[in-house]
Structure 1
Amino acid sequence: MSGFITFQVAFHIQPYKGRTDHSVHDNIKYIIDKYGKHGAFYRFKSSTGKVLPLFYIYDSYLTPPEAWSDLLTSTGSHSVRGTPYDGVFIALIVEERHKHDILAGGFDGMYTYFASNGFSFGSSHQNWKAIKAFCDGNNLLFIPSAGPGYIDTSVRPWNNHNTRNRVNGRYYETALQAALTVRPEIVTITSFNEWHEGTQIERAVPKKTVTRLYLDYQPHQPDLYLELTRKWAEQFNKEKEQWLL
C-alpha cells in the first residue's frame, strides 16, 4: 500500500551479568530459532552475496578477543560460522585499540554508537576516515552512528562536558554528513526516543513537569528530526547508487 514504510528489526545485544561468548551463542540460537523466519527480522546482504542476520554487540570489549574468536572464527571451539546461526556481527569501537581486538575476535565490522562527538575515539567524527580505511583494509564493515545532539545531565549530573547542543538540527546534519563522507554501507542513528539522554528524534511538543523541562524543537515543527532523517536517508540512498557505479 502506498504511503507505508516497511521496518525491520536488528538485535542490539546489551551487556548483562554473566555475558560470555557461550551465553551470546545461546542468545543467537534463541533469537534465530524464534524470530528467524519473521518478515520483520533484518538480514544484511554482504558483498559476497550472503544474506545473514545482523547483530550489534554493545560493549563487546568487555569480553576478550580470544573468547569472541571461539564463537566468530571458522576454527573456533563453538563457532557459528557456516551454521544456521551464522550472522553479521558488529562490535563497538570505543578506544582506538579496540579495532585490532575486533579484527582478532572475528567480528564482521564495528559501529560507534555514541551521539556525542568527541566522547570517545570511535564517536569522534574526525576519526571516521581512518577507521573506515582500517575496515576497508581488513574486509570489515564500518558503521558510523549519528545523533541529533546529547544532554544526559538529568540522569548523569556530572556529565555536562559531553552535552552537545542540537543547534536547531545542524548538529544532526553535520553528523550525518560526516557519516556519508566515509561512504559506509550502513549508518545507524542513536536513538529514536531516549529522552533522558537528549537523543530523541521522535515528534516533540513543549512539555514541562514539576521537576523537568523536556526539550522541544521550536521554532521548528514537532517532526523536524523525522523530516531531516528522511532527507538524509534519501541522500544516502542516492550516494550509494553512485558509489556502486
Structure 2
Amino acid sequence: MASLLDAAAATPVRIAFYYERVPDDQPEAFIDDILYIVERYGDHPGLFRHNGAPVVFVYARALSQIPRETWQTMLARVRAQTEVQLIADSTDVSWADLFDGLHIYIPVSYVVSGTDMQRIYDALVLGAESRGKISSVTVIPGYDDSNIGRPSPTVAPREGGRLYDTLWEQAINARPQWILITSFNEWHEGSEIEPSFEDGYFYLERTAYWSRRFKEAPQLGVWLATTSIPPVAQPGSELPIAAEFLRKGDAAALEGTWFTPAGWAAAELGARSEPVAAAAGLRRVTFSGRLTVPEDARPGRYPVRFLLQADGGTMEFDAEVQVLGPDETPPFTGAGVWADLGEENAEYGLYLLETPDGRTEPVTIDGIPARRTVGDPLAPKYLYFDVADQFLYGAAGLEIEIGVEYLDTGIGTLRIEYDAEPPAGRYATALSVLLRNSGQWRTASVRLRDAQFMNRQQGGADWRVQVSGDLAVRRVYVRVVD
C-alpha cells in the first residue's frame, strides 16, 4: 500500500480506501481497521482527503453485516478518536444521518432494469445535501459478468459509449460534489475503462471530456424531488398535477410552466415554498395545478410537459397521459394505476416485471385471463410490480392503497411487500393473508402511509407479492386515497 501511495504522491492522483467487509461481523474489528488506516496512512501525501480528513468508502455488504443502531455507536467511537470521512454505499438516504456522505458502488441493477437514473442520482444528492453531507454518484461504461460463472448473469451493453455518455450527463445534472467511476480495470465484470484492444483509449478520452464538463458546470442548486401526474385519465376528467423540487438558495428565482395538448387545460395553482432543511439552506418548492381532459378526447396517449427555469437555465420533465376508451374502466375512483393480467397484460401505469425470482405464465381459469407464478416448487415465488415514476416516485406523505385480486387456491400465505421509507426498507411487509383453498377470486388490499416507491426492489420494482406455492392473479392496482 505504501508503494502505491508513494507513486500517487508524485502525480495528481490520490488514493482512497474502500472498506468491503467487517471481519467476523465484529464491530470492534471495524473500529480497529479504520483507526489503523488513519494512523498508518493518514498523513501520507498520496492519500485522498476531504476537508483535511482521510476518506474511506464503506461497501453495502459491510453495512448489512451490522445493525443500524450498532453502526451509530461504532461511528461515534471512531470519531471520538480520529478524523475520517466515511462514505456509505446505499441509496437509502437515511444512512447519511450516520455517515459523512453517500455513494453507490455500482448502479448496474438500476441500469439494466431501465430505471430513470436521473431520479436515482437526484435522490442520492438530495439525501446527502439536505443533511449537509458529501454527495457522490457513480457512472459505469457498461457491465457483463456472463463469463465468471454466476447463475444469473447481468449485462448492461455499452452501446458504443452511449451508456457512459448518458450516465455522465445525468450525473452532472444532479450536481453532486463527486462523480465516481466503476471501474478502471474490473475486466472480469466488463466495467473497465482501462485502454483495451477493442476500444483503445476511447473511454479514457470520454472520461477526460466529461470530467472537464463536470468541473465547468454552473452551480445549479435545484433538484427534482417528485412529480405527480396521473398516467391514465377518462375523457372529461380533472386531474391534480404537481412537480416538486428541492431548492438551495432563492426559491423566488424559480419559474414553472405546464404544457398540455391542444384543447386541454392546465389551471396553475402557483408555487408553494417551505423550508425542509434550514441548516443546509434547502426549501421545498411545489408547482401544482389541475389538468382538465376534454370531453371529446379520443383514446390514446398524450404528452404533458413541465418546464422549470432556474439560474439562467431550463429543466424539462416529460410525462404521458393515456386517455381511456369506453371499455376501459379503472377498479377505483380518483387517481391511480392498475393492470389487468393475462396473455397480454393491459397495463395502465402499473407494470408486471419478469425477474429471475419472479416469473409468471399466462393462464385462463373458467374463462378469466390471469398470470400464474412459476419456478422452483420449494422456493418462494414473487410477482414484481413497478408504479409509473411520473405518478408516484418518493410517495412520502401520501396515503396509498395496494390491491391484488387473486385466486384463493392451496394452503399458505400471500404477502404484499413494498419499498418503504427508512428504517423499514425496500421489502417491508404490508399485509399477510392466509390462503384457504376456497377456489374463489378474492381481493387483498392494504393502505400505507410510508411507501417510498423508488424502484429499489428486484428489477427496479416498487412492490411485490410473495407466496410459497403457485398463485394466479388477474388484477392489481395502486391508488391515492382521497
Query: Structures share a fold, TM > 0.5?
Result: yes
Amino acid in structure 1 at the alignment position of 2:54? P
Q: In the alignment, what sits opposite 1:61? A: 64
Q: Secondary structure at the match of 1:90?
A: strand
- 2:112 & 2:206 partners in 1: Cα distance? 25
Q: What is the aligned counterpart of 1:226 among 189, 204, 224?
A: 204
Q: Structure 2 vs 1, CA of residues 65 and 165 (structure 1 numbering), >3 Å: closer, same or farther?
A: same
SS in 1 for 2:87: strand
Change (3 A) 1:124 1:63: farther
2:16 maps to 10
The correspondence for 2:106, drawn from 96, 114, 139, is 114
Q: What is the rounded CA distance, in whole Å, between the counterparts of 2:22 and 2:73 in structure 1?
A: 20
Cα shift readout 1:105-133 (whole Å, capped 9, x = no counterpart): x2011111114151699x96132212322
Amino acid at match of 1:70: T
- 2:461 corresponds in structure 1 to none
Residue by residue over 1:81-111, the C-alpha shift from the partner in whole angstroms, topping out at 9 and shown as x without a partner, is: 253x2211111115xxx322x145x201111
**CA positional deviation for 1:61:** 2.9
1:80 alignment partner in structure 2: 78
For residues 212-223 of structure 1, the aligned pairs below 5 Å read 216-217=198-199, 222-223=200-201
2:88 to 88, 91, 102: 91
**SS of match in other structure, 2:144:** coil
Identical columns (%): 27
Structure 2 counterpart of 1:118, which letter? Y
The aligned runs of 1:195-210 (5 Å cut-off) are: 195-205=187-197
| Compared CA separation, residues 124 and 36, structure 1 to 2 (3 A) | farther
What do residues 115-159 of structure 1 show as CA deviations (whole Å, max 9, x unaligned)?
4151699x9613221232222222222211111001001114433
Aligned CA distance change for structure 1 residues 189 and 68 (closer, same or farther; 3 Å): same
Task: Tell me what 2:133 maps to.
Answer: 140
Alpha carbons 1:117, 1:124 under 8 Å: kept: no
Q: Which amino acid aligns with 1:223?
A: Y
Please point out which of 183, 197, 209 is paired with 2:175. Answer: 183
Distance 1:21 1:176 in 2: 36
Aligned partner of 2:216 in structure 1 is 238
Contact 1:115 1:199 in 2 (8 A): no
Q: Which has the higher helix share?
A: 1
Deviation at 1:68, TM superposition (A): 1.1
The CA distance in 1 between the partners of 2:116 and 2:80, in whole Å, is: 35
Alignment partner of 1:39 is 2:45: yes
Q: Distance in 2 between matches of 1:174 and 1:159?
A: 26
Partner of 2:166: 174
| Letter matched to residue 88 of structure 2 | A
Counterparts of 1:120 and 1:34 in 2: how far apart (Å)? Answer: 40
Q: Secondary structure in 1 aligned to 2:132?
A: coil
What is the number of residues matched between the two proteins?
209
Tell me: CA distance 1:172–1:117, structure 2 relative to 1, closer, same or farther (3 Å): farther
Question: Which is greater in Rg?
Answer: 2
Matched to 1:91, the amino acid is A
Q: CA deviation at 1:30?
A: 1.1
Describe the SS at the equivalent of 2:217: helix
What is residue 22 of structure 1 aligned with on the other side?
Answer: 28
CA-based RMSD of the aligned residues comes to: 2.5
* 1:42, distance to aligned residue in structure 2 (A): 0.9
Q: Which runs of 5+ in 1 are unaligned?
A: 46-50, 74-78, 206-215
Q: Which amino acid aligns with 1:99?
A: V
Which runs of 5 or more structure 2 residues have no equivalent in the other structure?
1-9, 222-310, 312-482
User: Contact (CA 8 Å) 1:150, 1:197: kept in 2 or not?
Assistant: yes
Q: Select the structure with the greater relative contact order (CA < 8 A; seq sep ≥ 6).
A: 1
Map Cα deviations across residues 29-55 of structure 1 (whole Å, 9 max, x no partner). Answer: 11111111211011012xxxxx21111
Name the one with the larger strand percent.
2
Separation of aligned partners in 1, 2:126 and 2:179: 16
Q: Of the candidates 125, 146, 156, which is equivalent to residue 164 of structure 1?
A: 156
Tell me which amino acid in the other structure corresponds to 2:206: L
SS in structure 2 of the partner of residue 179 of structure 1: helix
Q: What residue number does 1:209 align with?
A: none
